[in-house]
């Protein structure tokens, strides 16, 4: 799994001009799922997300986690995080998991994050043409890859 995590003061997702999810302070997470991903990847990534200390304390130091600030999540599926750009100018997405595998893992990720935070999270619509708006707070943007855990 690959994730682009952005600390935001607000974020929203629209599909066909209808808002599917919106949050105030928290994290916008763009999530890509690869064919080789499984529940171990999901558990590692969700633990990292909710416990990562990237919110400021009273001294303006990044010492607080999403849990500690009672922050929100907007989770958006993003297969293009697995774009291969080595050859030519048109990206290939062959490493991205097909919907029959990716949708259950995406839904499990939602359930796991909701369980860990003890509240609902906002989402996009898997596979839809989405319009994402955000105000990045900091800016703070972090990339994670469950297949490269030693570097994250």
Catalytic residues: 80
Residue 70 covered by a domain: yes
Residue 152 covered by a domain: no
Per-residue pLDDT band at 149 (split at 50, 70, 90): confident
Q: What is the rounded distance in angstroms from the CA atom of residue 139 to the CA atom of residue 152? A: 19
Q: Give the chain's domain count.
A: 1
Segment 94-120, tens digit of pLDDT: 999 999 999 999 999 999 999 999 999
Tokens of 68: 């500690």
| Global confidence as pTM | 0.94
Residue 36 domain boundaries = 2-147
- Which runs of E-coded beta strand occur in the chain? 2-15, 18-23, 26-32, 53-56, 62-65, 72-77, 122-123, 131-145
Q: What is the rounded distance in angstroms from the CA atom of residue 152 to the CA atom of residue 147? A: 10
Q: What is the 3-state secondary structure (H, E, C) of 58-72?
A: CCCCEEEECCCCCCE
Residue 134 covered by a domain: yes
Residue 117 covered by a domain: yes
Residue 62 covered by a domain: yes
Residue 30 covered by a domain: yes
Domain holding 33: CATH number?
Answer: 3.50.80.10
């Amino acid at each position: 799994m690959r994730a682009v995590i952005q600390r935001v003061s607000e974020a929203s997702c629209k599909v066909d001009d209808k808002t599917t999810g919106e949050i105030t302070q928290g994290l916008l997470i763009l999530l890509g799922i690869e064919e080789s991903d499984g529940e171990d990847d999901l558990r590692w990534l969700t633990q990292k997300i909710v416990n990562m200390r990237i919110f400021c304390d009273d001294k303006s130091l990044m010492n607080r986690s999403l849990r500690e600030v009672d922050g929100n999540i907007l989770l958006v599926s993003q297969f293009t995080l697995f774009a291969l750009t080595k050859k030519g100018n048109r990206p290939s997405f062959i490493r991205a998991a097909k919907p029959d595998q990716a949708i259950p893992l995406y839904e499990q990720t939602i359930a796991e994050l909701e369980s860990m935070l003890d509240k609902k999270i906002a989402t996009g619509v898997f596979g839809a043409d989405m319009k994402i708006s955000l105000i990045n707070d900091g800016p703070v943007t972090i990339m994670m890859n469950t297949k490269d855990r030693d570097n994250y």
